[in-house]
Amino acid sequence: MTAAQPLPDPTTAPEEPAVATPKAPRLEALYFALRNPKLVVGLSIVLLFLLVGLVVPPFLEHTPGERYAPPLLPPSAEHWFGTTQFGQDLFTQFVYGIRSTFLVGFLGGGIAAVIGMTIGFVAGYKGGWIDEVLNMLTNVVLVLPTLAVLFIIAAYVDSYGVVTQSFFIGMTSWPWAARAVRSQALSLSSRDFVDLARLSGVRPWKIIVRDIAPNMSSYLFMTFILLFGGAVLAAAGLDFVGLGPNDGMSLGLIMHQAVKWGALQLGVWWWFVPPGLGITAIVGSMYVMNVGLDEVFNPKLREM
Amino acid sequence: MRKYFGRKIFVYALTFFAAVTINWMIPRLMPGDPIKSRLARASLNDAGAAEALYGYFNKMFGLDLPLWQQYLNFWVSLFQGDLGISIWNFPTPVIDLILGAVPYSLGLLLPSIILSWLVGNWFGAYAARSKWLDNTILPIGYILTATPYMWLALLLAWSLGIVAGLFPAAGSYGLSLQPAFTWTFISSLLEHWFLPFLSLFLVALGGWAIGMRNMIIYELESEYSNYLQALGAPRRLIRKYAFRNAMLPQLTGLAVQLGTVVAGALLTEIVFSYQGLGYLILQAIQNQDFFLLQGTFLFIVIGVLIANFIIDIVYALVDPRVRVQMQGGAK
């Protein structure tokens, strides 16, 4: 606070010619992005996992449920993550689990982001009774304990896939995003350029998409990342209690099976440690990446 | 003041109404026949038994009545404290099972929520703008918040419980004991309580520390901090003001996080076979006991609502602006 003098605000830096504006801010963001260790480390870990989830499955010889190896083998060169009590290869399960983790994150976080942002923008821009009603709705859904609602919903569905699960998660986890976006949109919608757009008869929807949203795009992106992490954790919780999708493999399901078949008592640590570690690594590096992004977009937070 | 609480109570009443309606609606809204699918899952071999059960459940749910009457009946029986009869633990009423489990859940939740909030805020306040603390607490905080509740619980149960043998890894008291007010029972209770508590405490800790750190940095950037600094106020004093101002959003954050923490407690209880509400939920899911599942859900919602209301009261007491209004001062 006292010692670290903030850098001169780059947008007003004199040596930067004003004509070069279309490209300069983006390049500048990139410049800071590449020099931000949090962003670089977080992004690399996330991309590494994404790559593993996307690229590796086709090369695996066995399916995650296939029982072909001796049971309860500790990690070895043959079975990198060991095997389950039923002789399933845990590395195979892990890789497929990563895949569905990203799927749930993208879809669940994406649906939540769309709902939350729509409600937030409309409430913040429109104001008045629309704001009141949407705010009430947001507060009601916000107070409901999400995972408990998901338990109830999932328990009554006979069989469903990852996409449906993401849909359920998205439908229940949007409220805080709506709240955050609303307050940002509210402060932006009283700016001069929005007034100008309004006066010139631009449609509200167009104003939101073209004038308000681009001015908080970094904020929206970071909101999505947090929703992504939340969706992954919620899905893991559902899978863990045995209410996950009936088809496919997920990291939560591996832990569910480990607990169900007594991995704790048997001391089979390789059954339940890697899946949780995978989730923690993915979600944790996304959070760290978010801090890095925040520092890149917000010059005040840069500590040099 | 009245407006503040009036609004809050209205939202909570609405939430409760929504929760009850969800609870009522979901079994009826889901595609297919819920009773049939439940019977299918039970995999009965005898066709006659299945038919008898079908008729029984149809009556039980009152599914032969018109919809509006079903809905009304649902509310009536709810206010009579009638949540149905458990199938898993037949013929105990669901409400009795829940009331038996609530003390265990509360015993885990209250200390872990309050302590993690206090300790997390304290750590976060110290970490803000102090280089090496920030560089250690921040990553640890992010790792902790990203940790799935059940995974940390599994790690603790395995490492401290099974490998090191320091604490029992399952159950809420010794198997040979009966609940009683004796020293052996209480010490066994505490021993079994410790690991689930620690697990919940640790996961929540990181989020509070990060939140407080960010709030303090934000406060230290604000006008009044600059002004105080310009006046030559000592660093400690400025930080004290910043801390006080940062407390309020953190309190709101606690209200927002409650649902997540409660859900985390459910998962943690399942790992430790700790006989709170989470354990009931697991039994309900595994035994297709839908009355129990729905009853527990309602209880969790009620608990979260009450906790939210308490936080609102505390907020009003702590926030000087609201306090002044209450005492009839400046409007």
Tokens of B117: 């909030």
Buried b / exposed e along B86-113 (16+ C-beta atoms within 10 A): bbbbeeebbbebbeebbebbebbbeebb
* Rounded-to-integer distance, Cα A72 and Cα A83, Å: 5
* Rounded-to-integer distance, Cα A107 and Cα A95, Å: 19
Provide the pLDDT for residue A1: 31
Tokens of A286: 């996304």
Buried b / exposed e along A277-289 (16+ C-beta atoms within 10 A): bbbbbbbbbbbbb
Tokens of A237: 């919780």
* Rounded-to-integer distance, Cα B144 and Cα A276, Å: 12
Range ranked top by mean pLDDT from A158-162, A204-208, A273-277: A273-277
* Rounded-to-integer distance, Cα A36 and Cα A217, Å: 19
User: Is a pLDDT exceeding 50 seen at residue A19?
Assistant: no
- Taking an 8 Å cut-off on Cβ atoms, the answer to whether A156 and B27 are in contact is yes
Residue A155 sits at the chain B interface (C-beta within 8 Å):
yes
Provide the pLDDT for residue B97: 92
The residue-averaged pLDDT of A100-111 equals 95
pLDDT tier, A73 (very low <50, low <70, confident <90, very high otherwise): confident
| Nearest by Cα to A46 from B18, B189, B146 | B146
**pLDDT mean for each 10 residues of chain B (331 residues):** 81 90 78 63 67 75 75 85 79 89 93 94 84 82 92 93 86 78 86 93 92 87 89 88 88 87 91 91 83 88 91 84 60 40
What ranges do the domains of chain B cover? 2-79, 94-326
> Residues 9-48, chain B: which have Cβ within 8 Å of A?
11-12, 14-15, 18-19, 22-23, 26-27, 30, 32, 34, 37, 40-41
The residue-averaged pLDDT of A232-260 equals 90
* Rounded-to-integer distance, Cα A59 and Cα A259, Å: 29
Provide the pLDDT for residue B38: 64
Contacts of A268 (CB under 8 A, 6+ apart): A72, A82, A85, A258
Q: Which residues of B touch A158 (CB under 8 A)?
A: 32, 37, 40-41
* Rounded-to-integer distance, Cα B8 and Cα B6, Å: 5
The residue-averaged pLDDT of A126-145 equals 89
The residue-averaged pLDDT of A56-78 equals 85
Domains of chain A: 35-68+95-301 (1.10.3720.10)
Provide the pLDDT for residue B219: 87
> Residues 160-179, chain A: which have Cβ within 8 Å of B?
176
From the CB of residue B310, how many other CB atoms can be counted at a distance below 10 Å?
A: 11
A234 close to A251: Cβ distance less than 8 angstroms: no
Mean of all residue pLDDT scores within chain A: 85
A11: part of which helix (H) or strand (E)? Answer: none
> Residues 112-141, chain B: which have Cβ within 8 Å of A?
129, 138-139
User: Measuring CA to CA, how many Å separate B96 from each of B24, B139, B275?
Assistant: 21, 44, 13
Contacts of B213 (CB under 8 A, 6+ apart): B124, B125, B127, B128, B134, B137, B138, B141
> Residues 76-105, chain B: which have Cβ within 8 Å of A?
none
Q: How many H-runs (helices) and E-runs (strands) does chain B carry? A: 13, 0
CA distance B330 to chain A (A): 27
* Rounded-to-integer distance, Cα B257 and Cα A174, Å: 14
Amino acid type, A34: L
Provide the pLDDT for residue A54: 92
- Taking an 8 Å cut-off on Cβ atoms, the answer to whether B146 and A136 are in contact is no
Provide the pLDDT for residue B108: 93
* Rounded-to-integer distance, Cα B83 and Cα B20, Å: 12
In the CATH hierarchy, which fold is given to the domain comprising B94-326?
Answer: MetI-like fold (1.10.3720)
Best probe of the A interface among B25, B26, B150, by most A CBs < 10 A, is B150
Best probe of the B interface among A94, A149, A246, A273, by most B CBs < 10 A, is A149
Q: What is the pLDDT of residues A177-236, one digit of tens each?
A: 999 999 888 888 888 888 898 889 888 888 888 888 888 888 899 999 999 999 999 999
Contacts of B239 (CB under 8 A, 6+ apart): B125, B216, B220
* Rounded-to-integer distance, Cα B214 and Cα B218, Å: 6
* Rounded-to-integer distance, Cα B5 and Cα B325, Å: 13
pLDDT tier, A284 (very low <50, low <70, confident <90, very high otherwise): very high
A101 close to A113: Cβ distance less than 8 angstroms: no
Residue B228 sits at the chain A interface (C-beta within 8 Å):
no
Residue A9 sits at the chain B interface (C-beta within 8 Å):
no
Provide the pLDDT for residue B316: 84
* Rounded-to-integer distance, Cα A105 and Cα B15, Å: 27
DSSP states of A130-176 as a string?
HHHHHHHHHHHHHHS-HHHHHHHHHHH-SS--HHHHHHHHHHHS-HH
Question: Residue holding tokens 């410790």?
Answer: B194
A109 close to A233: Cβ distance less than 8 angstroms: no
CA distance A199 to chain B (A): 34
Q: Which residue of B has its CA nearest to A140?
A: B15
User: Is a pLDDT exceeding 70 seen at residue A11?
Assistant: no
Torsion of CA B44, B47, B48, B51, to 10 degrees: 80
Best probe of the B interface among A39, A142, A147, by most B CBs < 10 A, is A147
B316 close to B323: Cβ distance less than 8 angstroms: yes
From the CB of residue B3, how many other CB atoms can be counted at a distance below 10 Å?
A: 7
The residue-averaged pLDDT of A266-276 equals 92
B201 close to B265: Cβ distance less than 8 angstroms: no
